[in-house]
Amino acid sequence: MRPLYLLIFKRLLDVALSIVGIIFAIPLIICCSIAIKIDTPGPIFFRQTRVGRNGQPFTLLKFRSMVTEPQNCELQITVSGDPRVTRVGHWLRKTKLDEVPQLLNVIRGDMSLVGPRPEVPEYVSEYNLEQKQILNFKPGITGPASLSFIEEESMLGSQANPDSFYRKCILPRKLAIDLAYFRTANFSQDIKLLLLTLVTTLDHSSTR
């Protein structure tokens, strides 16, 4: 039954919940879009190439939370207090609303609601053989690793070399957690993770 869920029913769940989510989020999408345009010049959406299932690249969508011409363009990750983040962007990231456009990625089939966060090609190229197994699955908007590292930006902000710390310490741990998730992934587990994401995000937003 579990393989059947991963092959068929997980996709049905993704599409159904994403469509409902977009419909209910329309007022928020409009408000976020207006706020982004008023705050700083630039596009509403941020697009970036990420690596998806079977190593196929795709364009990840987010609400833009950074200035369009950041001084530090080399850093692929965001740290606490990052000067590239705009005023509205800080609010979007705190509430996780910057991730809402990824519901379109889910509907298009690039992503799932629950799964490993998709990484940039630069990081994926460093995966070992075991870690590359994660590419057998669709990346997700949320997942057990995302919840475990909800304070990731703060953790990185305290490091002298955030990029090195992410590559050597955080990313391997996240991959291990997500690989463990796929060994037991099922409908009830995904529903629990989605509900936990909602509760954790609301709690995290109210305490920062």
Q: Does 56 or 73 have the greater pLDDT score?
A: 56
How would you classify the pairing of strands 57-63 and 112-114? unpaired
pTM, whole model, 2 decimals? 0.92
Q: Is 207 helix (H, G, I), strand (E, B) or coil?
A: coil
Q: For residue 208, name the pLDDT band (cuts at 50, 70, 90).
A: low
pLDDT for position 83: 87
Q: Is 46 helix (H, G, I), strand (E, B) or coil?
A: strand
DSSP secondary structure code for residue 6 in this structure: I
Give the residue-averaged pLDDT of 135-162: 93
pLDDT at 205 over 90: no
Q: For residue 2, name the pLDDT band (cuts at 50, 70, 90).
A: low
Q: For residue 124, name the pLDDT band (cuts at 50, 70, 90).
A: very high
Query: Which residue reads 């053989």 in tokens?
Result: 129
Lowest mean pLDDT among 5-19, 58-72, 190-204: 58-72
Contacts of 133 (CB under 8 A, 6+ apart): 179
Beta strands in the chain (DSSP E): 45-51, 57-63, 112-114, 140-142
Q: For residue 59, list its beta bridge partners.
A: 49
Give the residue-averaged pLDDT of 169-181: 97
Share of the chain above pLDDT 90, in %: 81
Contacts of 159 (CB under 8 A, 6+ apart): 79, 165
DSSP secondary structure code for residue 9 in this structure: I
Would you say 187 and 5 are in contact if contact means Cβ atoms under 8 Å apart? yes
- Domain ranges across the chain: 2-206
Q: For residue 70, name the pLDDT band (cuts at 50, 70, 90).
A: low
Share the mean pLDDT of the chain: 92
Q: Does 79 or 146 have the greater pLDDT score?
A: 146
pLDDT at 78 over 90: no
Query: Which residue reads 């305490």 in tokens?
Result: 207
**Distance (Å, rounded) from C-alpha 88 to C-alpha 65?**
7
pLDDT for position 77: 82
Share of the chain above pLDDT 70, in %: 95
- Burial class of 65 by CB neighbour count within 10 A (0 to 12, 13 to 18, 19+): buried
Cβ atoms within 10 Å of 169's Cβ, excluding its own:
13
